[in-house]
Amino acid sequence: MISQDDISSANTKLSQIDGITLDTEYAVMEHFYTIQGEGAHTGSAAYFIRLAGCDVGCSWCDVKESWDADIHPRITVQSMLESLLETPASIVVITGGEPLLQDLGPLTKALHALGKQIHIETSGSSPLSGSLDWITLSPKRFKPPLPEIYPYVDELKVIVLRKKDLQWAQEHAARCPSRTKLLLQPEWDTPQAMPLMVDFVKENPQWKISLQTHKFLGVP
């Protein structure tokens, strides 16, 4: 539980950040405190900022309402940070949509000034911006990653629908640094992907399986 003292101290920190940065607006679909359900940080409490806008167009996308940035409000960094500071979150996950369609410089500068760890989940199809502590690359066939992102990838998470996705996953892994965590995740409505992944990971133990545990937990 956050105390009044915690809120006052957080507001003091906020007032000390460069005002120009705090005035920057982003198209935001939603922002909320929850549990990270996927990937290497599964189970960690995290504040999610889901930026609006996506030009990738995955047919199986489960957040199609994020695609059109114009139907979502533009929210200042200050407003997002005020909501964030009502929580004890130390990790902030910037997701989308495709979050790299917007310049993450001002937002990440402000988040770092508050001492937050910043994670991003991206298709990598737009240029990197901002200062990020953990980059999850989830490549999509519909608009492939830009080559310059691969050296920075902390976690490669490939969505699997069919067998050929496993070969495709290996092609992306070959372009990532050796430290990159390699994850396969079944598309939620494609249960036939699961036995394919199980067999693959047993034969290729450098890979792990990621599940959308937030859907089991019933949290957003």
Give me the residues that bind ligand SF4 (CB under 6 A), please: 54, 56-58, 61, 63, 66, 96-98, 123, 140
Burial 122-145 (b: 16+ CB within 10 A, else e): bbbbbebbbebebbbbbbbeebeb
Least separation in angstroms between residue 85's CB and ligand SF4 is 27
For residue 162, which of 194, 193, 207, 200 has the smallest C-alpha distance?
Answer: 193
Which of 17, 132 has the CB closer to ligand SF4?
Answer: 132
- Contact in structure between 116 and 138 (CB atoms under 8 Å): no
Cβ at position 143, least distance to ligand SF4 in Å: 8
Residue type, 16: Q
Q: What is the CA radius of gyration of the chain?
A: 18
Beta strands 45-51 and 25-35: pairing type? antiparallel
Smallest distance from the beta carbon of 33 to ligand SF4, in angstroms?
21
In the complex with ligand SF4, the residue whose CB is nearer, 98 or 154, is 98
Which CB sits closer to ligand SF4, 58 or 77?
Answer: 58
If the CB atoms of residues 28 and 58 are measured against ligand SF4, the closer one turns out to be: 58
Nearest approach, Cβ of 43 to ligand SF4 (angstroms)?
Answer: 22
Q: Give the three-class secondary structure for 117.
A: strand
